[in-house]
Structures are given as structure tokens and as C-alpha cells.
């Protein structure tokens, strides 16, 4: 069995989720069992609008920005995110999953919708062969220390700076 490693795709640039998606496609193309989940998203993005060769575990879609949520809404998101995260690691162990993508985990951590202690404990106790990808901005030193790969995407030029809004099928 191949040792599974931990990846972090981070930075202020466009492409963190896209990089994770590319790895999921590559792994599934080689017959690997892949599970994907996204935190703080609503799955209204082009990559999720057709059949995929891997399973997307959709949590409760998040349609509001964290700062606009009531305390009760935040508590519900925290509970759902935490249960889904823990359940995915349990499932990966039971089903011998090869790759687990945790899209926008770092964003969820930054607003307090997930606990860094929970994420760190799950990463440290992950099945030996499980490859795990976390995406988002500003990983903590603790998570960087646990990771085997840390790839930073840095924007050098972006059309948004010229007033070009996000375009369907390109940015989402």
C-alpha cells in the first residue's frame, strides 16, 4: 500500500479548487476511489453540473456569507460541517478510499465553522493510504507542519482588477 500524503492548495490566486479537481480527475482516471466535499459553498459551480467519475458528498449548501448569518445559522453550519468532516474520515477508513478532497476547509476554519483541533486530529489519525487535499487561504503553521505538499497560488494579474466580473464556465 502506498503511503497517503497531505496536500494544501492555498494562496490568493484563482485555481485552488481547480487544482484539487484536476487531482481528483487524475486519481479517478487511474481507478482510485475519490471522495470530494466542499465547505461554505453551494455547489452552483460548473464542475458539479454533470456526472463525475468520483463521488461528491454534498453537505447542506451555504447560501449566505458567514458575517450575515445569525448565531443559530452559524451553529447549524458548524454542526453540519463537523459531522460531515468526521463522517468522511470514518467512511474513508471503512471503504479504503484513496483520495479525500476537503475543498475550502481553510475558509471554514478561518470563520470558525470547523475546529482546527478536529481537522488536525483527523489528519494525524487518517488511514495510512489515504491522500488528503485541503484548499483555501491562510493555512495555520500547525496545518502546514502536518502537510507534505503546500502549493501556493499567487495572482500576478487578474481580469477582476480591470472590472471584469466572474464569468460562468470560467471562474464558476
Looking at residue 13, its pLDDT comes to 87
**How far is Cα 149 from Cα 56, in angstroms, rounded to an integer?**
23
Looking at residue 1, its pLDDT comes to 60
Instruction: List the domains of the chain with CATH numbers.
Output: 6-162 (3.40.50.300)
Looking at residue 19, its pLDDT comes to 96
**How far is Cα 31 from Cα 76, in angstroms, rounded to an integer?**
36
**Dihedral over alpha carbons 168, 171, 54, 6 (to 10 degrees):** -170
Backbone φ and ψ of 156, nearest 5°: -105, -30
> pTM of the full predicted structure?
0.92
Comparing 60 with 122, the larger pLDDT belongs to: 122
Looking at residue 66, its pLDDT comes to 94
Decide if pLDDT at 30 tops 80: yes
**How far is Cα 96 from Cα 169, in angstroms, rounded to an integer?**
33
Mean pLDDT, rounded, for 66-84: 96
**How far is Cα 133 from Cα 122, in angstroms, rounded to an integer?**
13
Decide if pLDDT at 136 tops 90: yes
Amino acid at each position: 500500500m502506498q503511503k497517503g500524503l497531505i496536500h494544501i492548495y492555498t494562496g490568493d490566486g484563482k485555481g485552488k479548487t481547480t487544482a484539487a479537481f484536476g487531482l481528483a480527475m487524475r486519481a479517478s482516471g487511474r481507478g482510485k476511489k475519490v471522495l470530494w466535499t466542499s465547505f461554505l459553498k453551494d455547489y452552483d459551480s460548473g464542475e458539479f453540473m454533470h456526472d463525475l467519475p468520483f463521488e461528491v458528498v454534498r453537505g447542506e449548501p451555504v447560501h449566505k456569507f458567514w458575517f450575515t448569518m445569525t448565531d443559530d445559522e452559524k451553529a447549524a453550519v458548524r454542526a453540519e460541517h463537523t459531522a460531515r468532516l468526521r463522517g468522511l474520515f470514518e467512511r474513508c477508513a471503512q471503504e479504503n478510499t484513496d483520495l479525500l478532497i476537503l475543498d475550502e476547509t481553510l475558509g471554514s476554519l478561518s470563520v470558525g465553522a470547523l475546529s482546527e483541533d478536529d481537522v488536525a486530529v483527523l489528519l494525524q489519525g487518517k488511514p495510512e493510504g489515504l491522500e488528503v487535499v485541503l484548499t483555501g487561504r491562510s493555512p495555520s503553521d500547525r496545518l502546514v507542519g502536518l502537510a507534505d505538499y503546500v502549493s501556493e497560488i499567487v495572482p500576478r494579474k487578474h481580469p477582476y482588477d480591470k472590472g471584469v466580473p466572474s464569468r460562468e464556465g470560467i471562474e464558476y
